[in-house]
Structure 1
Amino acid sequence: MLVETAPDSALRSLEMALAGVGATGGLAQVRGLVEGETSERFIRNNVLAPIVPLCAVRAPGQISFSPRTLPLLWKALKGTAPQRVEEASSKCNPWDLEQGSPEVFDDLCKLAARGLRDAEQDLFDPVRALGAAEELANCLDLCVIVRGALPKLSEWVSRMSGERAAAARLAYNDACVIRGDSGARLFDILAAHLPDDWRILRVISAVMDRPNDRYLASSEVSAFGERVLADIEASIALIRDFDLNKGEKQGRDAALAAQRVALQITEFEQSVNIAKDGPWGRRLAKFRQQIAKEVDLRMSAADKELNDALPTRPISILGKKGGKGVARLTDPPDEKMIRRATSILAFIADLRSCATQSGYGSTRTKTLEKLNTRLDQYIEDVLYAARTGEGGDPVIAQQYLDVAADFIAYSRDEKTAEIVRRRAAAAIAAAA
């Protein structure tokens, strides 16, 4: 039962861990169970491929079933149509799959849909007990269409052409023939197979011949656009609220959110004929302004965070309190301040790919220029202290040089950081 219910990732880890186990003993039996389950899942996931990504946690409003759906549905099929399952198993060899999916795969999906709807077939009771049985049956009805579309899906979302748009429209029409409301269901299933499910907007656009936002916002597929807009809003909130104290990963995650927003807004504008005063056009314009504002505010804090992590003291007693001067090398680096500075620097560094198109490229360039000027001067000051012992403890100076080198890897590049590290090593060696 443990092997049967283990997630795919855990099963792969188990298989790798047990690969070197001998042919006898308790672990050999466990390896046999794992290998048997892996083989079973390979067959099951090929037969039920169209609905596999639906059996997982998905965003609110998207079609989703319990992860237990797949094993229970497969068990029911093995009980009701053992010969067809055996036939499907024999056709799961790589050379068979290269020729396209065997017809028996779709036949088994149709049998599963009928079994779910037939209360007399008690082998399907455990699946029905999970809930949403009718919706699952509706999705299984579409398996033949989805299976035919999946090999073309990457082309549809990467480079749509007239011929590909015609194929997408045909799949949509076929889905609507099966059931009047299955057009949106088809898009949802296809979206589940995409690394970025919001790219389904491109397929919707091709099927509906690039509709305007007023029409799309009032259509049966309006939920797809609303979900993208909600995701954009959530990403902006993440950028606004991410915690610098949590370090580099938080900064990178926030930058990824900014990149995602840039891609989603572009996708929206290319897929939908946006009107400035349309229901979605107004929101997109607002989001453009919001993300530029939030990113600018975040970047404006970088100088303070850098100064806190690399503290300085005024050059003279007349210097203003907190003013920038020479490096203060009396106390070791503060890990909390380093973590905060690293977070914001990682954030700014990873905005490179989206800053210009999102309206904050100029701010980012100016911010980096200011930070690099600050770092260059600081590094020279600390190198001098490390070589001569004047101005601070050479050991502490070395620690700050390591920190500054890590920082400059974000603000410039790793090559510059390596030069700083080599210069630091040379300065320490000269001092010794």
Structure 2
Amino acid sequence: MAAVAADKLLMVRKLVETVPDAALRNLELALAGTAGALAAVRDLVENETTARYVRNSVLAPIVPLCAARDTEQTSFPPRTLRLLWAALRAQVPEQVAEAAARCNPWDLEEGPPEVFDELCAIAVKGLRAQTEDGFKALDAICDVDELASCLELAAIVRTALPMLQEWVSKMSEARAAAARLAYNDACAIRQDAGPLLFEILAAHLPDGWRILRVISAVMDRPDDKFWASSEVSVFGERVLADIARNIAIIESFDPAKGKAEGRKVAAAAHRISQLIAEFEQSVKLTRDGVWGRRIAKYKQDVAEIVEERMNSAERELLEALPLRPISILGGKKGKGVPKLTTEPDELQTRRLTAVLVFIAEIRGCAMQSGYGASRAKVLEKLNSRLDQYIEDILHVVRTGEGGDQGLARIYVDLAAGYIAYSRDQKTAEIVRRRAAAAMAAAA
């Protein structure tokens, strides 16, 4: 196979340099073991992967800031890392080469090499001086002063990162003291650097809101009045805004969208539960405090909204598994038996499934959030209705009395699917086995 032309290889190199890290890893896996013309492309990808490993190790404190984040959070365009690294390679190639040489498991086991922080310090000077072309290029895409301020804290962040998971998993007096020391060191660099330190550390957490634990430890778990008026109030406000957004998701629950919608809304309920628990753990809430009042209101709102959504399940069940009165005199008050005149309505099936999925998947947060008892009552009603419906429709499957046997088989399978959500999969399998036995007996 002919080799790739030099000009085309240059184009490929430029493309490889700009692809996101995840895409680069996929390329590396796809090209592993290739030969011939693609071997040159494979080498380009492998070299870029190695270069990025070095770059991301040196600039580790700011790497998660160079990604898509909420607009209120400190962030920089993804290409910031590439341009910053190119500027450093142009200005101090020897130190970049030293960082690459020291960027191996043996050196990193002893802690980050000093050259990593030296390069960050050089970047700070270059960004602020704006005399080198490489650093000037960054001024066109981001706030270079803010970027420099983040890099000023690189050494402190790098020291804190190995301890961060311990700080947010189980805080102790010793860990709180280490967090306070990091905060004081940041404020020694610049008096207002404390909040920025928390911002950077939060970016390194899978759940950024857990930074509340660190802030709480540094501030010795302040009350909401003090925290809400402090320079770090923004972190509490973000959590409160997140709670409000997720309440809105539950309010807009549209069962017609089906199972995925039920899971999405249940996930919102779980997130609200987590956020409120985190807030109550980190902040000493007071009844008349601005945050205390808002949390109390949110708890009440979410309980009411979730209960309203759960209470719609019985109505949706009747629409999806329609009944006809046992007698004309019974009317709507009559218990009713399966109405087997038409095939199941696809929309009603989707709606009921969404509601049942929602009820099933909020199990883990229901008691903690104050609607556990309501959930139990709703499930009790649903299961009672489903149990009776299943018995009635199995009778139709066995005997043909009371409706069309073919439709009865379809509806019993639907009912089994529903009871898997309202009770469990084992019960659903029992229903299906009984249906199979009834069909065999009727054959």
TM-score by length of 1: 0.95
166-175 or 380-389, larger mean C-alpha shift: 380-389
Q: Which residue of 1 aligns with 2:109?
A: 98
Please tell me whether residue 44 in structure 1 is matched to residue 26 in structure 2: no
- Structure 2 gap ranges (5+): 1-13
Q: Which residue of 1 aligns with 2:300?
A: 289
Alignment equivalent of 2:249, drawn from 235, 238, 241: 238
**AA matched with 2:176:** A
99 and 402 in structure 1: CA distance in 2 versus 1, 3 angstrom threshold? farther
Q: Which residue of 2 aligns with 1:178?
A: 189
How far, CA to CA, are the matches of 1:17 and 1:333 in structure 2?
Answer: 46
Alignment equivalent of 2:350, drawn from 335, 339, 361: 339
3-state SS in 2 of match to 1:354:
helix
164 and 419 in structure 1: CA distance in 2 versus 1, 3 angstrom threshold? same
Alignment equivalent of 1:61, drawn from 63, 67, 72: 72
Q: Which residue of 1 aligns with 2:35?
A: 23
Alignment equivalent of 2:22, drawn from 9, 13, 25: 9
1:142-157 counterparts in 2 under 5 A?
A: 142-157=153-168
How far, CA to CA, are the matches of 2:259 and 2:105 in structure 1?
Answer: 43
Residues 393 and 412 in structure 2, CA contact (< 8 A), matched pair in contact too: yes
Alignment equivalent of 2:140, drawn from 125, 129, 132: 129
3-state SS in 2 of match to 1:353:
helix
Q: Which residue of 1 aligns with 2:227?
A: 216
Report the alpha carbon displacement of residue 353 of structure 1 after superposing the two structures with TM.
Answer: 1.2
Report the alpha carbon displacement of residue 194 of structure 1 after superposing the two structures with TM.
Answer: 1.0
Report the alpha carbon displacement of residue 321 of structure 1 after superposing the two structures with TM.
Answer: 4.8
**AA matched with 1:170:** L
How far, CA to CA, are the matches of 2:374 and 2:428 in structure 1?
Answer: 23
How far, CA to CA, are the matches of 2:402 and 2:41 in structure 1?
Answer: 65
Alignment equivalent of 1:162, drawn from 154, 163, 173: 173
1:195-251 per-residue CA deviation (whole Å, 9 max, x = no partner) reads 111111111110011111111111100101111111111111111112111111211
Alignment equivalent of 2:390, drawn from 372, 379, 382: 379
How far, CA to CA, are the matches of 2:405 and 2:93 in structure 1?
Answer: 77
Q: Which residue of 2 aligns with 1:417?
A: 428
Report the alpha carbon displacement of residue 417 of structure 1 after superposing the two structures with TM.
Answer: 1.7
1:286-311 per-residue CA deviation (whole Å, 9 max, x = no partner) reads 11111111111111101111221222
191 and 262 in structure 1: CA distance in 2 versus 1, 3 angstrom threshold? same
Q: Which residue of 1 aligns with 2:313?
A: 302
RMSD: 1.6
Residues 313 and 322 in structure 1, CA contact (< 8 A), matched pair in contact too: no
The percentage of aligned residue pairs carrying the same residue is: 64
**AA matched with 2:362:** L
Report the alpha carbon displacement of residue 2 of structure 1 after superposing the two structures with TM.
Answer: 2.9
How far, CA to CA, are the matches of 1:2 and 1:375 in structure 2?
Answer: 58
How far, CA to CA, are the matches of 1:280 and 1:6 in structure 2?
Answer: 43
Q: Which residue of 1 aligns with 2:240?
A: 229
Report the alpha carbon displacement of residue 13 of structure 1 after superposing the two structures with TM.
Answer: 2.6
Q: Which residue of 1 aligns with 2:129?
A: 118
**AA matched with 2:166:** E
300 and 106 in structure 1: CA distance in 2 versus 1, 3 angstrom threshold? same
Report the alpha carbon displacement of residue 362 of structure 1 after superposing the two structures with TM.
Answer: 0.5
- Structure 1 gap ranges (5+): none
3-state SS in 1 of match to 2:284:
coil
How far, CA to CA, are the matches of 1:310 and 1:202 in structure 2?
Answer: 48
13 and 338 in structure 1: CA distance in 2 versus 1, 3 angstrom threshold? farther
Report the alpha carbon displacement of residue 69 of structure 1 after superposing the two structures with TM.
Answer: 0.8
Residues 247 and 339 in structure 1, CA contact (< 8 A), matched pair in contact too: yes
Q: Which residue of 2 aligns with 1:265?
A: 276
279-288 or 330-339, larger mean C-alpha shift: 330-339
**AA matched with 2:135:** F
Report the alpha carbon displacement of residue 317 of structure 1 after superposing the two structures with TM.
Answer: 2.8
How far, CA to CA, are the matches of 1:322 and 1:66 in structure 2?
Answer: 63
Residues 326 and 334 in structure 2, CA contact (< 8 A), matched pair in contact too: no
Residues 142 and 186 in structure 1, CA contact (< 8 A), matched pair in contact too: yes
TM-score by length of 2: 0.93
How far, CA to CA, are the matches of 1:403 and 1:6 in structure 2?
Answer: 47
1:115-153 per-residue CA deviation (whole Å, 9 max, x = no partner) reads 111221111122221021110010011111111111111
Q: Which residue of 2 aligns with 1:405?
A: 416
Report the alpha carbon displacement of residue 95 of structure 1 after superposing the two structures with TM.
Answer: 3.0
1:172-211 counterparts in 2 under 5 A?
A: 172-211=183-222
**AA matched with 1:206:** A
326 and 177 in structure 1: CA distance in 2 versus 1, 3 angstrom threshold? same
Residues 112 and 137 in structure 1, CA contact (< 8 A), matched pair in contact too: yes
Report the alpha carbon displacement of residue 77 of structure 1 after superposing the two structures with TM.
Answer: 1.4
Q: Which residue of 2 aligns with 1:328?
A: 339
Please tell me whether residue 370 in structure 1 is matched to residue 381 in structure 2: yes
Report the alpha carbon displacement of residue 103 of structure 1 after superposing the two structures with TM.
Answer: 1.6
**AA matched with 2:205:** L
Report the alpha carbon displacement of residue 90 of structure 1 after superposing the two structures with TM.
Answer: 2.0
Report the alpha carbon displacement of residue 3 of structure 1 after superposing the two structures with TM.
Answer: 2.4
**AA matched with 1:413:** D
**AA matched with 2:39:** A
How far, CA to CA, are the matches of 1:191 and 1:348 in structure 2?
Answer: 32
51-60 or 149-158, larger mean C-alpha shift: 51-60
How far, CA to CA, are the matches of 1:97 and 1:394 in structure 2?
Answer: 71
How far, CA to CA, are the matches of 1:16 and 1:429 in structure 2?
Answer: 52
3-state SS in 2 of match to 1:280:
helix
3-state SS in 2 of match to 1:22:
coil
How far, CA to CA, are the matches of 1:168 and 1:326 in structure 2?
Answer: 65
Q: 4+ residue runs of structure 1 moved beyond 3 angstroms? A: 27-30, 321-324
How far, CA to CA, are the matches of 2:333 and 2:248 in structure 1?
Answer: 32
How far, CA to CA, are the matches of 1:311 and 1:4 in structure 2?
Answer: 60
Report the alpha carbon displacement of residue 426 of structure 1 after superposing the two structures with TM.
Answer: 2.3
How far, CA to CA, are the matches of 2:137 and 2:430 in structure 1?
Answer: 64
